[in-house]
Amino acid sequence: MVRLQSIVLAAALSLATAALAHHGWSEYDAGRELTVSGRIVESGYEHPHGHVRLETPGRTWFVVLAPPSRMERRGLARDALKPGNTVTVVGYPNRSKADEMRAERITAGGKTVELR
């Protein structure tokens, strides 16, 4: 019985930690839509969200993307986000991090994919 309680407690703590680690979308300004184009200098295709570091004229953006499973279902393959590729991202800037944005859609290789 003690072992079962320990397992339940450990599971509950890990879920609480994961929930705290995941950010809310309120930190992004949905009233200020941005469109940026540039060259990918870094990418990640992992959970909870993929990302690209996008080099644009005058700024390098950290762009938060959708979870990999959603990107795959919608046709955005990992290869489309390789460093060196050029993409266009439409999204919203972070309210407190000047070089971060959340992507609503991305155009890569001539194909536009809705991420939300």
Boundaries of domain holding 61: 27-114
The count of structural domains within the chain is 1
Q: Is residue 39 part of a domain?
A: yes
pLDDT tens track, the chain, 116 positions: 666 565 655 555 554 444 444 457 799 999 999 999 999 999 999 999 999 999 999 999 999 999 999 999 999 999 999 999 999 999 999 999 999 999 999 999 999 999 98
The pLDDT, as a whole number, for residue 4 is: 56
Give the count of beta carbons closer than 10 Å to the beta carbon of residue 62.
Answer: 14
The pLDDT, as a whole number, for residue 25 is: 77
Q: Within 13 Å and on the Cβ side, how many CA atoms surround 93?
A: 14
Q: Is residue 105 part of a domain?
A: yes
Q: Is residue 4 part of a domain?
A: no
The pLDDT, as a whole number, for residue 116 is: 87
The pLDDT, as a whole number, for residue 1 is: 66
Q: Is residue 59 part of a domain?
A: yes
* Cis-peptide into 67, omega within 30 deg: no
The CATH number of whichever domain residue 51 belongs to comes to 2.40.50.1010
Q: Is residue 107 part of a domain?
A: yes
The pLDDT, as a whole number, for residue 20 is: 41
Q: Is residue 10 part of a domain?
A: no
Q: Is residue 33 part of a domain?
A: yes
